[in-house]
Amino acid sequence: MKRILICMLCALLLTGCTDVRTRRSPDVLALDTAEPTRAAMHATQNDEIISAGVMHPLLFREALENAAGAEISPGHLSLLMVSGNPAPVLPELLQSQEIAPTCKVLYVPDGACTLLESGNAPETGQLDAAVSTGMLPLRTADLIYGDLCGGSGVSAVPAWLHERLTLMLLDADGVQSALSENACRGLALLGGRFETFSFDADGAPCTVRSVSLRISAAVAHDQLCISVCGSVRAETAHRPAAELLLSEMVSSALTETAQAAGADLLFLYEAACKSRLPGIRSCSQSQWRSMLMTAAYQTDLRVTA
Amino acid sequence: MRCTVQKSNTRRAPAWSALQTAAILLLCRLTVFFCCPAPYTAAYAMGMLAAVLLQAALLLPLAKLRHRLQIPAPMLWIYRGFALFLAAYYAASGLRLMHMLHCPSPHLLPALFLLTLLYTVSRTQAATARTAVLLLVITAAAMLLLPVSGFRAAHAVSLYLPGNARAAFFREFRHSGELALLPVLLTHAKPQEQYAPHALTAVCIGRAAVLPLTVLLGTVQNGRLTAWEGSPFFLLLARTPLSDAVRTDGFWLLLAAGCAVLCVTFALQQAIPPRARPVRAALLAVPACAGLTLLLSRTGYDGTGLGIAALLLGAALPYACLLYNKIKGIAAMPRKEV
């Protein structure tokens, strides 16, 4: 028994769970990556905002610790707000394990810290609600990083633009264009991580119950052809209108991401590998991006009761 | 199968059940699996499965061996040297994992690791076997939670991501050092003729089923994160929390560290001659292992050659012993029919 107690004491001391009361745990962290680089956080314990200037975004913890006079533990961080270019910052934060892979990310065009300090930043719950109602697809730090490293090197990041949530395309050079509401909903529909998905179909409500869509890739006449086909089970009084609207959402998602910017957010590369397209396995990110921009896109979607 | 080492060498050899023998061998493989930084792909699972099947084909005939095995003293010393090297390899893998996971107290951990080893190596082999079963049960139960908790985040199309099956095949051999300990380990089983074949079969099935399936699960869960620097197993854990509030990374970290300590202990106990005094032997073996570990960590040794040598040693040692005994005219112990 004595040995077990000694082992447990050692484990407790080594895992660093002895100073919970003095430590600050942020739920929201804001990083201004553009000059002057700044960091701000909302500490959950006493509902206070702590901010500090930092030399490098990765050094935010030390700067905030000095400003707060307490140890900072970002283990329970649920939202990372970034302004400037998030592309180089995100992989570094993930690899150094400063943020959890499933941490949500929100892009703010400028002044992420100022937004948090002024109290005008969106609540974490707003982003969660947007995902669960199918307004936005789920985009966590690991998914954004995965798209930047794999696929075509273009990802999409949730953004707070003109006081509303949307999606913006992101590559190594920085944030590019914003997507339309239809494209965001189409991506959410194809991602399938929503809890409820409702919309107005010609004056009558339509609620999606389940989605069974298949993405396939083929080469026809030396051109890549990406097609989305399958069925959506929905409750609606106007099935043709619902079918048309859902098809528009999926088409917008494909044209605004893959066709317009060569962004592969829907595992199109993997679908092409599955179809064993010639030379696809040795294709570089830039080649795949060019192929996506010149590809043809088809949508064949049916609504069933 | 009926195989045993010379009676003079087995004074303190414990009597292990098939489950204990299988548990210790499976835990050794799992420990290296947790520490391996190779990204998960379907090709990885295929290469791994092919290697495991080949290893099973080479090792399963051992279960048919109907002669009592007498390992000659020179071969026994080669075996002990290999076990010491293997212990250092496990220790280096464990430390690399701690480094990859950015563990707190980086200087205190190796010291604690060393002290724990001094204690565990001086214990009996029977205690090691009992602990192995306990750890294997905990690991298996925890692994069962993985597909349940991460089901929604899976992308089955990730299975088509390109990968290198050949590299995975050879990597599996590099990580199979524990197979060398098989012949002598089977002499611990009680009664050998009943339990040794069961242990062998359990090891082969466990390796062929659990590891490739975990890699496949990791492939569909981790998706495009193949450029991740670190253990993909812990990435898989971080991406599949039980809920937003409950994370299991800490539990797995302690479990992986526990498995590493157990494997090093087991390998060192195999390296120590049975007649040696436990505490004195531990005081000699643990620093020797620590020195080798430091050497392996500094040179960045990844186990190339270790697995091939282990497999050859594991599969060929019993037959080599029989041949040696025949040439030297050493009479085999009386045979008993199974």
pLDDT (tens digit, 9 = 90+) per residue, A1-57? Answer: 566 667 667 766 665 555 666 778 888 999 998 888 899 999 887 788 999 999 888
**Rounded Cα distance, B254 and B248, in Å:** 10
**At a CB cut-off of 8 Å and minimum separation 6, what does B199 contact?**
B18, B19, B21, B22, B25, B186, B189
Does any CB of chain B come closer than 8 Å to the CB of residue A150?
yes
pLDDT at B248 over 80: no
Instruction: Flag whether A43 is in a domain.
Output: yes
CB contact under 8 A, B155 and A270: yes
pLDDT (tens digit, 9 = 90+) per residue, A81-96? Answer: 999 888 999 999 988 8
Instruction: Flag whether B204 is in a domain.
Output: yes
Instruction: Flag whether B334 is in a domain.
Output: no
Chain B residue numbers touching A11 (CB-CB < 8 A): 254
Chain B residue numbers touching A156 (CB-CB < 8 A): none
How many structural domains compose chain A?
A: 2
Instruction: Flag whether B337 is in a domain.
Output: no
Name the pLDDT band for B337 (thresholds 50, 70, 90).
very low
Taking the CA atoms of residue B205, residue B209, residue B214 and residue B216 in that order, the dihedral angle to the nearest 10 degrees is 150
CB contact under 8 A, A149 and B226: yes
CB contact under 8 A, B104 and A142: no
Mutation site, A9, A93, A142, interface B, largest B CB count within 10 A: A142
Measure in Å the smallest separation between the Cα of A236 and chain B Cα atoms: 26
Interface of B with A (CB under 8 A): 101-102, 104-105, 108-109, 112, 152, 155, 157-158, 160-162, 223-230, 235, 238-239, 241, 244, 247, 250, 254
**At a CB cut-off of 8 Å and minimum separation 6, what does B161 contact?**
A150, A270, A273, B41, B42, B219, B224, B226
Does any CB of chain B come closer than 8 Å to the CB of residue A101?
yes
pLDDT at B303 over 70: no
pLDDT < 50: residue spans in chain A: none
Neighbours of B299 (CB within 10 A): 9
Name the pLDDT band for B189 (thresholds 50, 70, 90).
low
Nearest by CB to residue B161, choosing from A10, A97, A273, is A273
Size of interface A-B (CB pairs under 8 A): 65
Chain A residue numbers touching B40 (CB-CB < 8 A): none
Does any CB of chain B come closer than 8 Å to the CB of residue A284?
no
Residues A159 and A208 occupy one common structural domain: no
**At a CB cut-off of 8 Å and minimum separation 6, what does A208 contact?**
A134, A189, A194, A197, A198, A232, A233, A234, A246
Residues A143 and A29 occupy one common structural domain: yes
Instruction: Flag whether A18 is in a domain.
Output: no
Measure in Å the smallest separation between the Cα of A274 and chain B Cα atoms: 5
Chain A residue numbers touching B155 (CB-CB < 8 A): 267, 270
Chain A residues 33-72 within an 8 A CB cutoff of chain B: none
CA angle, B151 then A194 then A100, to 5°: 60
Measure in Å the smallest separation between the Cα of A204 and chain B Cα atoms: 30
Instruction: Flag whether B336 is in a domain.
Output: no
Average pLDDT, chain B: 81
Instruction: Flag whether B1 is in a domain.
Output: no
Does any CB of chain B come closer than 8 Å to the CB of residue A96?
yes
CB contact under 8 A, B241 and A146: no
C-beta of residue B174 within 8 angstroms of C-beta of residue B304: yes
Q: Cis peptide before A36, with omega less than 30 degrees from 0?
A: yes
Instruction: Flag whether A3 is in a domain.
Output: no
Chain A residues 206-265 within an 8 A CB cutoff of chain B: 215
Instruction: Flag whether B338 is in a domain.
Output: no
pLDDT (tens digit, 9 = 90+) per residue, B104-163? Answer: 777 788 888 899 999 999 988 889 989 999 999 989 888 887 777 666 678 888 899 888
C-beta of residue A287 within 8 angstroms of C-beta of residue A214: no
Domain boundary among A147, A174, A201: A174
CA angle, B308 then B314 then B319, to 5°: 120
Domain boundary among A174, A191, A225: A174
Instruction: Flag whether B333 is in a domain.
Output: no
Residues A166 and A29 occupy one common structural domain: yes
What pLDDT does B7 receive?
43
Residues A258 and A151 occupy one common structural domain: no
Chain A residue numbers touching B247 (CB-CB < 8 A): 100
Does any CB of chain B come closer than 8 Å to the CB of residue A288?
no
Does any CB of chain B come closer than 8 Å to the CB of residue A285?
no
C-beta of residue A132 within 8 angstroms of C-beta of residue A198: no
Chain B residue numbers touching A149 (CB-CB < 8 A): 224-227
DSSP state for residue A258 in the 8-state scheme: I
Mutation site, B97, B119, B157, B249, interface A, largest A CB count within 10 A: B157
CA angle, B225 then B229 then B231, to 5°: 85
Name the pLDDT band for B332 (thresholds 50, 70, 90).
low
Residues A162 and A74 occupy one common structural domain: yes
Measure in Å the smallest separation between the Cα of B220 and chain A Cα atoms: 11
Residues A131 and A202 occupy one common structural domain: no
Instruction: Flag whether A106 is in a domain.
Output: yes
How many structural domains compose chain B?
A: 1
Average pLDDT over residues B255-271: 92
What sign does the dihedral A127-A128-A133-A139 (CA atoms) show?
positive
pLDDT (tens digit, 9 = 90+) per residue, A193-206? Answer: 899 999 998 888 89
Q: So what's the ipTM on this one?
A: 0.85
What pLDDT does B53 receive?
93
Neighbours of B94 (CB within 10 A): 26
Q: What is the DSSP string of B116-172?
A: HHHHHHTS-HHHHHHHHHHHHHHHHHHHHHHHHHTGGG--GGGGGS---HHHHHHHH
Q: Which residue of A has its CA nearest to B257?
A: A11
Phi first, then psi, for residue A72 (nearest 5°) are: -105, 130
What sign does the dihedral B24-B26-B29-B30 (CA atoms) show?
negative
Instruction: Flag whether A77 is in a domain.
Output: yes
C-beta of residue A55 within 8 angstroms of C-beta of residue A35: no
What pLDDT does A192 receive?
84
Measure in Å the smallest separation between the Cα of A270 and chain B Cα atoms: 6
Domain boundary among A124, A154, A174: A174
Residues A224 and A140 occupy one common structural domain: no
Element (H, E) at A302: strand A296-304
Q: Which residue of B has its CA nearest to A7?
A: B116
Rg (CA), chain B: 20
CB contact under 8 A, A102 and B239: yes
Measure in Å the smallest separation between the Cα of B15 and chain A Cα atoms: 26
**Rounded Cα distance, B80 and B6, in Å:** 15
CB contact under 8 A, B239 and A16: no
Nearest by CB to residue B223, choosing from A97, A146, A193, is A146
pLDDT (tens digit, 9 = 90+) per residue, B1-47? Answer: 444 444 444 445 566 788 888 899 999 999 999 989 999 999 999 99
CATH number at residue A248: 3.30.300.210
Domain holding A142, by residue range, is 23-174
Instruction: Flag whether A152 is in a domain.
Output: yes
Instruction: Flag whether A15 is in a domain.
Output: no
Instruction: Flag whether A4 is in a domain.
Output: no
What pLDDT does B267 receive?
92
Closest CA to B311 of B119, B179, B131, B212: B179
pLDDT (tens digit, 9 = 90+) per residue, B49-87? Answer: 999 999 888 888 877 766 666 777 877 888 888 889 899
**Rounded Cα distance, A20 and A35, in Å:** 34
What pLDDT does A170 receive?
92
CATH number at residue A133: 3.30.420
What pLDDT does B146 receive?
79
Mutation site, A9, A13, A76, A97, interface B, largest B CB count within 10 A: A97
CB contact under 8 A, A274 and B160: yes
